[in-house]
Amino acid sequence: MTRTPHVTLSQYGSLYSESVSDSEGFWRREGGRVDWIKPFTKVKDVNFDLGHVSINWYADGTLNVAANCVDRHLATRGDQTAIIWEPDDPKDAAKHITYKQLHASVCKMANVLESLGVRRGDRVVIYLPMIPEAAYAMLACARIGAIHSIVFAGFSPDALSARINGCDAKLVITADHAPRGGRATALKSNTDAALLHCKDTVKCLVVKRTGGQTTWIDGRDYDCGEMMLEASDISHPAEMNAEDPLFILYTSGSTGQPKGVVHTSGGYLTYAAMTHEIVFDYHDGDVFWCTADVGWVTGHSYIVYGPLANGATTIMFEGVPTYPDASRFWQVCEKHKVNQFYTAPTAIRALMGQGKSFVEGCDLSDLKVLGTVGEPINPEAWNWYNDVVGKGKCPIVDTWWQTETGGHLMTPLPGAHEMKPGSAMKPFFGIKPMVLEPASGEVLEGNDVEGVLVIADSWPGQMRTIWGDHERFEKTYFSDYKGYYFTGDGCKRDADGDYWITGRVDDVINVSGHRMGTAEVESALVAHAKVAEAAVVGYPHAIKGQGIYCYVTLMNGEEPSDELYQELRKWVRTEIGPIASPDLIQWAPGLPKTRSGKIMRRILRKIAEDDFATLGDTSTLADPTVVTDLITNRMNKQ
């Protein structure tokens, strides 16, 4: 790196101290990243006390998020590319969309939404492939003050209808088909199936991505392309309050159905823009590529809101890392002269397995910073990323964060921090991580400690509530450890004071960087007529990080068979989506339970890990022979 990084080690030290000792002053200054319509006077108003949790940032300011991501760049960089769209098939041409063109499309889409009756505060579900229309739709919602909720295109019709109903959406935006890796998912027909379970009034706006055949219901389905052609490109951005919701994003928790994480406008945008600039050491003119899907929070913050707020050129990639072959990521980096590249460990592991020849054929000399997110990265993958992709010259930012946090909370900063393979290293500005003793909640001071990770104070990008269920919000995040935000992650602070995320401590698993609640997979399984009971745990998987391991007890009279095994896998795929497909099913005549009937997952996890020696305390088991049977079956691999 020849240029000066935004933050050096000594600057990190002094700025971090300021950010935690004078949080108000620090965030007042950072609030200046946003163009406010009415400037804020109040910076922060936060309460983490159970029963009174409320989080407000810049609360009396007003702004429009879309105007910040688009309009404000028109005068200085109207002809600069805002979005480079790289299609699934490399033989098709990439699209370069300038800020001016982005502005026109967002305004048109905003007018289309309004003509379909969408108003300020209404919810719009977006179920789209990685196409520019996804960004137009997000920004168009923001422009008129509607709240978007993106559902990843890999989710099933059932998962889609649950989310449409969960936030009582007025409109769903989808596409005919979603090409990915040379195959196409029939999104419109999925949406048709989902809408059977939604209110009759929900409308459907369809982007014709492939032009393939779909069914069409007049009066409910609308052609997005046709409507945009006719729509005006003049649209006035609504004046929104800093605390008005910008989006809802459903994510998995340890219990029950997915929860709608709510992010608001002013604080979220400030935090997304700031972390994008500092963590990736983004400089004006850089080409930034985050390979995530906009269906996840990573895509929200680091494909759309952060980069566009900073006037960056951001890449939107429709395809997968291995299509047409394992060089695709690197081909795209070469073709678009990518400067910052941000992906997930699971992708790195998969590509590593294909050998380095796929990387070596490509010119990666423009790369300056590499990033990873979503799950802990193992040293072997880290080293490959560093040596083979980064040629030892690109800092790797291992960014730890969550859907709930809106942006990065812990990461090394390029140019400031030393890097240790697998360590998230240091807190970002304003973030006060603490490690607690899990059972007592006692604060573990000093270094060389391990426990659960909590955050002691708020930051502007923090989620504000769970849509429609503030009580669940408080209970999930603020009840286990009083006065702190509980992350659900375990964490170690090493002898040097650097942080290592050790993985979830709750019943959330991380499969290929996709977050999943074991409870969701269990309820899908027990919805099958032949299943009496199911328990699901994660187990170590070489590529996916964690795989989905299901213990299934069949109804009386049902017999295990290969056909049933396949049928159950398919069943879960249709109930939730392909990302939830079980990797292993073990037939379990019984499940280990306490005398009060609670399933002892700790033991099931150990069995799935083939770790039979350290099952821990089994004295509370109602029937210890259940465990012996499961172990015997596991050892025989059934």
Stretch that binds ligand WTA, among 36-44, 124-132, 381-389, 395-403 (CB under 6 A): 395-403
CB of 11 to ligand WTA, least distance (A): 23
489 is in an annotated binding site: yes
Binding mask 422-451 for ligand WTA (x = CB under 6 A): --x---------------------------
Binding flag, residue 336, ligand WTA (CB under 6 A): no
Task: Give the whole-angstrom CA distance, residue 182 versus residue 464.
Answer: 39
253 is in an annotated binding site: no
Task: Give the whole-angstrom CA distance, residue 130 versus residue 117.
Answer: 25
Stretch that binds ligand WTA, among 14-22, 116-124, 394-402, 530-538 (CB under 6 A): 394-402
How many C-alpha atoms does 104 have within 13 Å on its Cβ side? 9
Q: Which of 101, 298, 310, 314 is in the footprint of ligand WTA by CB under 6 A?
A: 298
398 is in an annotated binding site: yes
Q: How many residues does the chain have?
A: 638
How many C-alpha atoms does 473 have within 13 Å on its Cβ side? 22
Q: Which of 297, 435, 550, 607 is in the footprint of ligand WTA by CB under 6 A?
A: 297
Show the tokens assigned to 231: 């729509």
375 is in an annotated binding site: yes
Q: Which of 375, 480, 506, 507 is in the footprint of ligand WTA by CB under 6 A?
A: 375
Listed residue (109, 132, 155, 463) closest to 304, CA to CA: 132
376 is in an annotated binding site: yes
Residue ranges in 226-285 that form contacts with ligand WTA under rule CB under 6 A: 251
504 is in an annotated binding site: yes
Per DSSP, which regions of 253-412 are E strands? 259-264, 287-290, 313-317, 340-343, 369-373, 396-399
Task: Give the whole-angstrom CA distance, residue 463 versus residue 592.
Answer: 36
CB of 303 to ligand WTA, least distance (A): 13
Q: Which of 501, 516, 524, 588 is in the footprint of ligand WTA by CB under 6 A?
A: 501
Listed residue (401, 337, 398) closest to 363, CA to CA: 337
Nearer to ligand WTA, 123 or 300 (CB): 300
Listed residue (347, 326, 323) closest to 183, CA to CA: 323
Binding flag, residue 398, ligand WTA (CB under 6 A): yes
Nearer to ligand WTA, 112 or 297 (CB): 297
Q: Which of 258, 374, 406, 415 is in the footprint of ligand WTA by CB under 6 A?
A: 374
Q: Which of 401, 428, 484, 571 is in the footprint of ligand WTA by CB under 6 A?
A: 401
Binding flag, residue 489, ligand WTA (CB under 6 A): yes
Backbone angles phi, psi at 530, to 5 degrees: -95, -5
Q: How many CB atoms lie within 10 A of CB 628?
A: 11
296 is in an annotated binding site: no
Task: Give the whole-angstrom CA distance, residue 61 versus residue 460.
Answer: 13
Q: How far is CA 600 from CA 134, 531, 606, 616, 617, in A?
A: 42, 19, 11, 11, 10
503 is in an annotated binding site: no
Task: Give the whole-angstrom CA distance, residue 360 versus residue 182.
Answer: 24
CB of 477 to ligand WTA, least distance (A): 12
33 is in an annotated binding site: no
45 is in an annotated binding site: no
Stretch that binds ligand WTA, among 132-140, 295-303, 327-335, 552-560 (CB under 6 A): 295-303
Nearer to ligand WTA, 476 or 487 (CB): 487
Task: Give the whole-angstrom CA distance, residue 180 versus residue 70.
Answer: 28
Nearer to ligand WTA, 238 or 389 (CB): 389
Token pair 């600069």 in the structure block, residue: 80
Nearer to ligand WTA, 101 or 462 (CB): 462
Binding flag, residue 515, ligand WTA (CB under 6 A): yes
402 is in an annotated binding site: yes
Nearer to ligand WTA, 62 or 372 (CB): 372
CB of 488 to ligand WTA, least distance (A): 6
Task: Give the whole-angstrom CA distance, residue 622 versus residue 592.
Answer: 8
Listed residue (579, 636, 580) closest to 607, CA to CA: 636
Binding flag, residue 400, ligand WTA (CB under 6 A): yes
Please say whether the beta carbons of 262 and 245 come within 8 A: yes
Report the SS3 class of residue 342.
Answer: strand
Give 80's DSSP letter.
Answer: S
Binding flag, residue 346, ligand WTA (CB under 6 A): no
266 is in an annotated binding site: no
Q: How many CB atoms lie within 10 A of CB 332?
A: 22
Stretch that binds ligand WTA, among 144-152, 161-169, 201-209, 392-400 (CB under 6 A): 392-400
Binding mask 554-583 for ligand WTA (x = CB under 6 A): ------------------------------
Nearer to ligand WTA, 361 or 379 (CB): 379
Q: 63 Cβ partners below 8 Å, 6+ apart?
A: 34, 35, 36, 37, 239, 240, 242, 265, 266, 269
Show the tokens assigned to 403: 């859907």
Closest-CB residue for ligand WTA? Answer: 403
Binding flag, residue 373, ligand WTA (CB under 6 A): yes
Nearer to ligand WTA, 178 or 501 (CB): 501
Q: How far is CA 554 from CA 557, 565, 629, in A?
A: 8, 11, 15
Please say whether the beta carbons of 1 and 241 come within 8 A: no
Strand partners, 508: 517
Binding flag, residue 498, ligand WTA (CB under 6 A): no
Nearer to ligand WTA, 164 or 396 (CB): 396
What are the percentages of helix, strand and coil residues in the chain, rounded to 5?
35, 25, 45
Contact residues toward ligand WTA (CB under 6 A) are 251, 296-298, 373-376, 398-403, 424, 487-489, 501, 504, 510, 515
Binding residues, by number, are: 180-183, 298, 374-376, 398-403, 489, 504, 512, 515, 526, 528, 531, 573
Report the binding-site residues for Mg(2+): 526, 528, 531
